């Protein structure tokens, strides 16, 4: 008998339910093939529920979610709800409360996928961003003074603790070692302007680097990283950065790997409950049309299995996704795949 895992499923808003359905289809096929059990429990969280009941996410739900092996999430964000309410009340609350201090985002161009970068091939675009996921500008420190008056002041502070920075950097070094590619870790910061926060990051980075003599280190400012990610993506193996910069550069990363339709991420607490999600949003304009690409959600499930320790099943899903992407899909964009959302899920599940 294989292992058994309890998975909480949050389909969320917009196209979340459609892509999660395909992810679950593939996960079920993989678990049947590889002999382990996934026990899914659905949680109704998101904009629709908030509009219906006024509740965002209760403490009771949060407590329950701590008891799962992992959380599988679709998308959070609703056009009728003021930006920030659902994001802070569900997504960021989960990341922070469950101390998912790493946001792991691979940027991989699969064979057969079009990248907007001329002359770049799969061997040129294959790196991973390790984004700090528990502090920085996202910590919510700051406030207003005299709001709505001509003398208004708004302050938004970036919180960087030695402990938070160090655990993220250590994770990145360990990850880079295990990945075993170019064995190069690049710190992405802004030491020329953010001279407090990134002074701490830089000092910690080089101190920890002393314990990893097999890993080459590099540094680049965030603006330059944006430039190099377009011009010379082959320079990168693993990039480590803070929460805000990580958010920004991974959208750029998603585009060079073929778009939001394929980009997956993991919110990871190496000692606790992790959460896996496609990194694109809820795509309200495509909702219910069965035309969005579920590959990002499928790859989020793939990453979940990898981290749960089901390596062979994870590898099989990745291989199946690569095959469908290369041999079947006309494009990774919504409405242009040549197949519907559910047909793409069927194709991948059929290869398990
Ligand atoms: C992401 C998203 C979130 C973030 C939003 C929805 C709060 O953009 O996961 O990258 O900024 O982290
Ligand atoms: Mn983002």
pLDDT tens-place string over residues 11-41: 999 999 999 999 999 999 999 999 999 999 9
The rounded Å distance from CA 251 to ligand 2 centre is: 6
Q: Is 93 touching ligand 1 by the criterion CB < 6 Å?
A: no
Q: Is 91 touching ligand 1 by the criterion CB < 6 Å?
A: yes
Res 227: pLDDT: 98
Cβ–Cβ under 8 Å, residues 5 and 41: no
Res 318: pLDDT: 98
Q: Is 277 touching ligand 1 by the criterion CB < 6 Å?
A: no
Q: Where are the domains of the chain?
A: 1-100+282-352, 115-257
Among all ligands shown, which has an atom nearest to the Cα of 89?
A: 1
Burial of 343 (0-12, 13-18, 19+ CB in 10 A): middle
How far the first Cα of the chain sits from its last, in Å, is 19
**What residues pack around ion ligand 2 (CB closer than 5 A)?**
247
**Of the candidates 276, 262, 283, which has an alpha carbon nearest to the alpha carbon of residue 15?**
283
Q: Is 279 touching ligand 1 by the criterion CB < 6 Å?
A: yes
The CATH topology of domain 115-257 is: Isopropylmalate Dehydrogenase (3.40.718)
In sequence order, the β-bridge partners of residue 239 are: 129, 186
| Cα dihedral 301, 304, 310, 312 in deg (nearest 10) | 50
Residue whose CA lies nearest to ligand 1 atom number 7: 87
**H runs (alpha helix) in the chain:** 16-34, 47-53, 59-65, 85-86, 93-97, 162-179, 197-209, 222-231, 243-256, 295-308, 311-327, 341-350
Q: Is 260 touching ligand 1 by the criterion CB < 6 Å?
A: no
The rounded Å distance from CA 249 to ligand 2 centre is: 9
The angle formed by the CA atoms of residues 138, 256 and 12, to the nearest 5 degrees, is 50
Residue whose CA lies nearest to ligand 1 atom number 9: 279
**Of the candidates 107, 138, 100, 128, which has an alpha carbon nearest to the alpha carbon of residue 243?**
138
The CATH topology of domain 1-100+282-352 is: Isopropylmalate Dehydrogenase (3.40.718)
Res 280: pLDDT: 87
Cβ–Cβ under 8 Å, residues 108 and 257: yes
Q: What is the pTM of this model?
A: 0.97
The rounded Å distance from CA 192 to ligand 2 centre is: 24
Among all ligands shown, which has an atom nearest to the Cα of 131?
A: 1
Q: Is 104 touching ligand 1 by the criterion CB < 6 Å?
A: no
Among all ligands shown, which has an atom nearest to the Cα of 77?
A: 1
Query: How far apart are the C-alpha atoms of 229 and 122, rounded to whole Å?
Result: 14
Cβ–Cβ under 8 Å, residues 35 and 310: no
Q: Which residues of the chain have pLDDT under 50?
A: none
């Amino acid at each position: 008998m294989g292992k058994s895992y309890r998975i909480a499923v949050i389909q969320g808003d917009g196209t979340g339910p459609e892509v999660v359905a395909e992810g679950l289809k593939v996960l079920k096929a993989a678990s049947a093939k590889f002999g382990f059990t996934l026990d899914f429990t659905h949680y109704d969280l998101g904009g629709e529920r908030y509009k219906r009941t006024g509740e965002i996410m209760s403490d009771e739900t949060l407590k329950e979610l701590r008891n799962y092996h992992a959380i599988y999430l679709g998308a959070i964000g609703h056009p009728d709800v003021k930006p920030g309410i659902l994001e802070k009340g569900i997504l960021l609350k989960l990341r922070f409360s469950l101390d998912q201090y790493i946001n792991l985002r691979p940027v991989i161009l699969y064979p057969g996928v079009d990248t907007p970068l001329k002359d770049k091939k799969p061997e040129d675009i294959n790196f991973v961003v390790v984004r700090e996921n528990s502090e920085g500008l996202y910590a919510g420190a700051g406030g207003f003074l005299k709001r709505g008056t001509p003398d208004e002041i708004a302050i938004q502070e970036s919180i960087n603790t030695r402990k938070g920075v160090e655990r993220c950097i250590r994770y990145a070094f360990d990850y880079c070692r295990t990945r075993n590619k170019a064995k190069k870790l690049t710190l992405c910061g802004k030491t020329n302007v953010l001279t407090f926060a990134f002074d701490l990051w830089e000092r910690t980075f080089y101190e920890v680097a002393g314990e990893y003599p097999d890993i080459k280190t590099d540094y680049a400012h965030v603006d330059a990283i944006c430039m190099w990610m377009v011009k010379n993506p082959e320079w990168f193996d693993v990039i480590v950065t803070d929460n805000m910069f990580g958010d920004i550069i991974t959208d750029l990363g998603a585009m060079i790997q073929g778009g939001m339709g394929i980009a997956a991420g993991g919110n990871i607490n190496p000692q606790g409950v992790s959460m896996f999600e496609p990194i694109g949003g809820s795509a309200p304009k495509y909702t219910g049309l069965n035309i969005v690409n579920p590959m990002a959600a499928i790859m989020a499930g793939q990453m979940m299995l990898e981290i749960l320790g089901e390596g062979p099943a994870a590898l099989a899903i990745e291989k199946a996704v690569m095959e469908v992407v290369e041999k079947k899909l006309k494009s990774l964009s919504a409405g242009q795949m040549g197949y519907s959302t559910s047909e793409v899920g069927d194709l991948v599940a059929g290869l398990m």
